[in-house]
Amino acid sequence: MKRFIFILCLLFVVNGFSQEDKKKKGKPPTQTYQISEDLQYVYPRPKPFNFITGLPRNYANLGKGIVKKENLKWLGLTVVTTAVLFAGDEELITESHSLRDIGVTKEHKYITPGGVIDIPTNTSAVMYHLGHGNTSLLIGLGFLTVGGIKKDYRAIHTSSQIVEGILTLGFLTQGSKRVFGRESPNKKTQTRGRWHGFPGWNEYLENTSHYDAMPSGHVATLTSTVAVLARNYPEIKWIKPVGFTLIGIMGIEMMNSGVHWASDYPLGFLIGYAVGTVVTNSKITKIKKETHSNHLKGFDTNLTFNRIDGDNLLGVQFVF
């Protein structure tokens, strides 16, 4: 947690100074990026600490989105998928242990040089750390650095959105964990883990793994980061398949190490993708170029007169 806070504070400071510096130097109010022949993304000049001021709007938009008819199918799919995986949770945990045959251990090992940040030193820790907030923050710091050097608004906004997504997720995932109160596989006291929601504040902090399995915060965090990257750079087609593959790999590892059940993942994925979508939608202005002909919708008809082999023919020509 100390390392997470350190990187987050570093991003706060660098982001604030970097964006304020752009404002002082009279940078253009917007930058436009050509995504495809008929689509442009327009980004406003980044504002300092925009990833904090946007938090209330994110929660409001999430609340509006959950009741929209077009989103109910995703909620329904999450419920069904969770139920199916729940039925096979014990078997899936056992199957995940096959990772140990290829050298992926149950234990996560790290070194902490200078006491600043944990660096994974074995394969299982690397896989598990993909969904750690530190990893996403470092990705955000990378985009912020590139954006500051190249004066690239899109990169700076991507960095800010990654941080905003993590901050938005904090309340949602931690609140949900306390509501469900599900035991992790390595602490289970009954088949598929006991559910005892709404534990006391101190009880949760002292025995976290007895209550924090559902939903997976690691899946939510990595999913939100992938969604932010994919939605800001839709022309880069490999972001989603690579990102979703990494989410799957991390999910299997967390089952192998006893951190999560498979049925903890659908809700984590839904929350993460929803947050990533809401955060990006509020920051990107999309300009679509209409691609259509000058003809009116439907078709026109024209009469034609032709003479073929001495015969006069009357015809009708349809113009679409």
Helices 69-87/89-96 angle, 10° precision:
70
DSSP designation for 196: -
Distance from C-alpha of 133 to C-alpha of 114, rounded to nearest angstrom: 19
Q: What is the per-residue pLDDT for 122?
A: 94
Q: What is the per-residue pLDDT for 110?
A: 92
Residue the block writes with tokens 């088949």: 191
Q: What is the per-residue pLDDT for 304?
A: 53
Structural domain contains residue 112? yes
Q: What is the per-residue pLDDT for 302?
A: 53
Distance from C-alpha of 99 to C-alpha of 244, rounded to nearest angstrom: 19
Strand partners for 120: 110
User: pLDDT, tens digit, for every residue of 83-133?
Assistant: 999 999 999 999 999 999 999 999 999 998 877 778 899 999 999 999 999
Please tell me the total count of domains within the chain: 1
User: pLDDT, tens digit, for every residue of 128-184?
Assistant: 999 999 999 999 999 999 999 999 999 999 999 999 999 999 999 999 999 999 999
Structural domain contains residue 248? yes
Q: What's the pLDDT band for 293 if we cut at 50, 70, 90?
A: very low
User: pLDDT, tens digit, for every residue of 297-311?
Assistant: 444 555 454 554 455
| Among candidate residues 91, 49, 101, 314, the one with its CA nearest the CA of residue 185 | 91
The region that residue 169 occupies, defined by phi over 0 for left and psi between -120 and 50 for alpha, beta otherwise, is alpha
Determine the average pLDDT of the residues in 279-296.
Answer: 75
Tokens encoding 32: 């436009």
Q: Is the pLDDT of residue 313 over 90?
A: no
What single letter denotes the amino acid at residue 303? L
Distance from C-alpha of 155 to C-alpha of 237, rounded to nearest angstrom: 17
Residue the block writes with tokens 């993909």: 130
Structural domain contains residue 308? no
270 is in which domain, residue-wise? 2-293
Q: Please tell me the total number of residues recorded for the chain in this structure.
A: 320
Structural domain contains residue 181? yes
Q: What is the per-residue pLDDT for 48?
A: 84
Tokens encoding 277: 């979508």
Structural domain contains residue 203? yes
Q: What's the pLDDT band for 11 if we cut at 50, 70, 90?
A: low
What proportion of the chain, given as a percentage, has pLDDT over 90? 72
What proportion of the chain, given as a percentage, has pLDDT over 70? 82
Q: Is the pLDDT of residue 295 over 60?
A: no
Determine the average pLDDT of the residues in 30-55.
Answer: 92
Task: Please check whether residue 260 is in contact with residue 131, taking contact to mean a CB–CB distance below 8 angstroms.
Answer: no
DSSP 59-100: HHHHHHHHT-HHHHHHHHHHHHHHHHHHHTHHHHHHHHGGGG
Structural domain contains residue 215? yes
Structural domain contains residue 301? no
Structural domain contains residue 299? no
